[in-house]
Structures are given as C-alpha cells and as structure tokens.
Amino acid sequence: MDLSDSPEEATFRRTVRAWLGANVPRRTRHDALLPEPERVTRAKAWQRRVYDAGWLALAWPHEYGGQGADVVRQTIVNEEWVRARAPQLIGGMGIQMVGPTLIAHGTEAQRRRLLPKILTAEEIWCQGYSEPGAGSDLASLRTRAELCDDQFVVNGQKIWTSNAQFADWMFCLVRTDPEAPKHRGISYLLVDMHTPGITVRPLVQMTGDPGFNEVFFEDVRVPRANLVGQLHDGWTVANATLFHERNMLSSTTRTQQLFQRLVRRAQRHQRGGRPASEDAVVRQRLAGLAIRVETMRLEAYRQLTDTIRGRRPGINASVNKLVGCELNHDIARAALEILGDYAWLAKEDDRAADGGLWPIDFMFALGLIIGGGTAQVQKNIIAERGLGMPREVRPAPVAAVPGAAAPGPPAVPGTPGGAA
Ligand SMILES: Cc1cc2nc3c(=O)[nH]c(=O)nc-3n(C[C@H](O)[C@H](O)[C@H](O)COP(=O)(O)OP(=O)(O)OC[C@H]3O[C@@H](n4cnc5c(N)ncnc54)[C@H](O)[C@@H]3O)c2cc1C
C-alpha cells in the first residue's frame, strides 16, 4: 500500500493540524487534581468542540452525525491527534463500542435517537457485561430480564462497570431465557441509567480513583424497544461490541502518545548529572520500546490495507489488545525505572514527575491487561482461532470465551478515545 498522502489528503491533514494547533487545551499539573465532576464537564466540552469541528466519527454515516468519510481520513485525524498531544475523548465507549454496534445491529429508531448524542457527549455510556460470577466466562451471567408486555423487568448485579458513576446509558447483557443453553438465553439491552431501581456504588481502584462501580438493578423497567438484535440472541451482538472494545483498548494513538511522553521524560530527568536519555542502558530500553511501538503502527497500517481491500479481520482484535495493552504497561514500567526514587510520588506531591501520572498509568495499564478480556483469554483465542491449536478442555459444550467467535466489521486502527 502507498502510505503517502494524495494531494486532497495532504490538504485535509493540514486543515486538521491547524485546527488542533489552535484548539488543543493547555494542560497543567493541576488538571489531574480537579474533582471528578469538573473533569467530566471539561472533557465533555472538549469532545463537543471536536465534534463541532467535524473531526469525530469520520466514517459514520451523515444521518447519524458522522462525516461519511473513508477510514484513511480517520487515520489522518488519529495521526495528527498524536502529533498535537490532544486529550483522549470521554465518550470512547459510546463512539467506539456501542455506536458501531448500533450501526450494525440496532434499529433505525435506536440509531437516530442515540448516535448523535454519543458524538456530542450529551450522553455518556457504560458497559454492563461483567458480574460477580461472570468475567472470562461471560456467558455465565445471571442478571435476569423478564418480558412483561412491552417492557423488560431487570433484576441483578453488574460489577467493574467503568464510568457508571456519571454515565447516562448502559449497554447491558441480561438473561432472558434461563432454560436455554447459557450462550443462547442472553439478550442485549440499552438501559437508561436514570431509570428508578438502579443503584451505582463506586469501587475505588488501586490508582485511588473511583473509576469503576457495582451496579444493582431492582425491578428496573426497560422498554422492549431498547432490545438490540433478536430476543435471546444477545451473544452475537455482545461479540460485535467486544471486537470493537479490543480495538479501542489497543489504540495505536494512545500508545504512541505514551511513548512520546516517556522519551520527553527521559530527556528531562537527570541521572548522574546528565539527562537519563544519554545513559546507554536507558537508550537501549527506549530503542526496544520504540521498535515495538513502530511495529504496532505498521501493523495498524497493514490492517488498514485489509479494511480497504474488504478482508475479514479474523483474530486481529485479540492480537491488537494483547500487544497494545502489554506494551502500554511496559512503557509505564520503563518510566518508573528511569525516575527511580521519585517514581512513586503521588499526584498530590509537588515533586511528582509529570503530575504523578506515571504510577497511575502503570496501575491503570495493568488493569487494562485484564479489562475487555484478559491476556490469557486473548492468548486462548489466538492459539485456537488463529494458530489452529487444539481447543482447551472446558466444562461447557459451547465456546466459553467472550469474543471467541467475534464477528464484526474490519478494524479501524488507532482511533482516539478513552478506555473501558
Ligand atoms: C480496569 C478495568 C475496567 C473494567 N471495566 C469493565 C466495564 O466497564 N464493564 C464490564 O462489564 N467489565 C469491566 N471490567 C471487567 C473485566 O471485563 C473482567 O475483569 C475480565 O473479563 C476478567 O474477569 P474476572 O475479573 O471475573 O476474572 P476471572 O474470569 O475470574 O479470571 C481470573 C483469572 O483466571 C484466568 N482465566 C480465566 N479463564 C481462563 C481460561 N479459560 N484460560 C486461561 N486463563 C483463564 C484469567 O485470565 C485471570 O487471570 C473491567 C476490568 C478492569 C480491570
């Protein structure tokens, strides 16, 4: 594939670069200390500005708020995003997970009602998949939804629900047929988080932030019109969302930004009276990471070529998720080792490097090796579906690994967005 810009693409790139140059908000070390409501308000305002400028969801159809553009333009925006060090978007789960799922599986009424507000950040989404007894074996979920006339009545509990503390909507897996084999009695519902009967209880992560939650449902009424796909066939839709989630969590954009931040840190941090980046061991470490980041970038281009040629993505999303999340963790680990004794100072401490973001990134990146399907689960998928190795012995007769059959549209590499 020819990776150079056509004259039209070069003009487009200049326009995006100029806009980002004039609009990316300046960040200070105090930003990380802002109370969550203020951080959320600011993040929504930033997403709205990006949307109004026309740089969001370039590949979505016009009628749902997108630009109807090709994936190459989306890639140009992503590349300029890295260059401008632009902040991630708060509505990532809407833009990159439920949005594409609704475009493929939703009703026309659902798309028209929900997609535009995902883009404008007027409505933030969270993911209600995991339960206390259902993580890697997601199909064991027990949250029950009974259909009474034109409403589902939902009872049960979700856990590890990122962003539920400020989300307006949840895309949620519920058991609608308890008698059916476990993968066949599940449905995919869209739940308004402001409905009576929903209780959100924050869980504090090891980063110290209340990033995810327990969510309890007590006789929560959900209109039948909020069902996505067929009744009892939510597993198919759930897998489509998992495919998008794995690509989101392995955003090339985010990894490139993180690596650039590491290089700048190594150039500024003094070790033995000179910048750490002049130390031979540090340089070797940075070179090893640079090779992995570049490989990830080129692999994203390879997948872009596949997309343009209409090839199916196969196990790409699992490979991307495994490689990207482990690389992010290794980048954060390298930063902590370069910083030495200063590494673990918390963000509240004035002496903390880069506003204390590195230890948070280290812990958060570890969490994302687990979230969206653990590294071990991705390795199972790659081994069985990609390399054709024998299936692991499982008690259930049907594949118990979420995303194992993951159908879905081709990967769009490295779109900007937040993480689950
Ligand atoms: C930061 C973060 C954010 C999250 N956000 C969300 C969210 O927004 N919404 C949501 O629904 N969920 C969310 N999750 C939950 C996440 O999807 C689950 O934690 C994940 O699927 C693993 O499930 P579990 O925690 O129950 O672990 P288990 O499934 O109990 O796994 C425990 C260990 O056993 C291993 N294991 C399990 N089965 C196998 C197997 N077949 N082969 C090999 N090893 C195996 C796992 O790899 C893991 O090491 C989040 C998790 C994290 C860490």
Q: Mind listing the pLDDT tens digit for each residue in 32-70?
A: 778 889 999 999 999 999 999 999 999 899 999 999 988
Structure tokens at 319: 């490979």
CATH code, domain carrying 72: 1.10.540.10
Q: What atom in ligand 1 is closest to the CA of residue 138?
A: 21
For β-strands 169-175 and 125-128, DSSP reports them as parallel
pLDDT score, position 393? 66
Alpha carbon separation from 391 to 139, 288, 370, 394, 413 (Å, rounded): 18, 33, 21, 8, 29
Q: How many residues does the chain have?
A: 420
**254 confidence band (pLDDT: 50, 70, 90):** confident
206 within domain boundaries: yes
What would the pLDDT profile of 92-150 be if each residue is shown by its tens digit? 999 999 999 999 999 999 999 999 999 999 999 999 999 999 999 999 999 999 999 99
- Residue 269 Cα to ligand 1 midpoint, Å, equals 36
Between 356 and 172, the more confident residue is 172
Average pLDDT, the chain: 89
Between 246 and 176, the more confident residue is 176
Amino acid 361 reads D
Residue 370 Cβ contacting ligand 1 at under 6 Å: yes
pLDDT score, position 396? 55
Residue with tokens 């910083």: 339
Q: Which of 36, 68, 90 is the last residue of a domain?
A: 90
Looking at the structure, tell me whether residues 222 and 254 fall in a common domain: no
Looking at the structure, tell me whether residues 84 and 133 fall in a common domain: no
Across the range 196-217, mean pLDDT stands at: 93
Mean pLDDT check: name the lowest of 2-6, 292-296, 374-378.
2-6
Looking at the structure, tell me whether residues 207 and 264 fall in a common domain: no
Across the range 7-25, mean pLDDT stands at: 96
| Residue 168 domain boundaries | 125-232
**272 confidence band (pLDDT: 50, 70, 90):** confident
Looking at the structure, tell me whether residues 255 and 221 fall in a common domain: no
Active-site residue set: 245
Looking at the structure, tell me whether residues 224 and 258 fall in a common domain: no
Residue 322 Cβ contacting ligand 1 at under 6 Å: no
215 within domain boundaries: yes
CATH code, domain carrying 210: 2.40.110.10
CATH code, domain carrying 377: 1.20.140.10
Strand partners, 271: 274
Give the single-character DSSP code of 354.
G
Q: How many domains does the chain have?
A: 3
Residue 130 Cβ contacting ligand 1 at under 6 Å: yes
278 within domain boundaries: yes
**pTM given for the model:** 0.89
Looking at the structure, tell me whether residues 131 and 39 fall in a common domain: no
pLDDT score, position 1? 65
418 within domain boundaries: no
Residue pair 188/228 in contact (Cβ under 8 Å)? The answer is yes
Looking at the structure, tell me whether residues 327 and 273 fall in a common domain: yes
379 within domain boundaries: yes
Residue 371 Cβ contacting ligand 1 at under 6 Å: yes
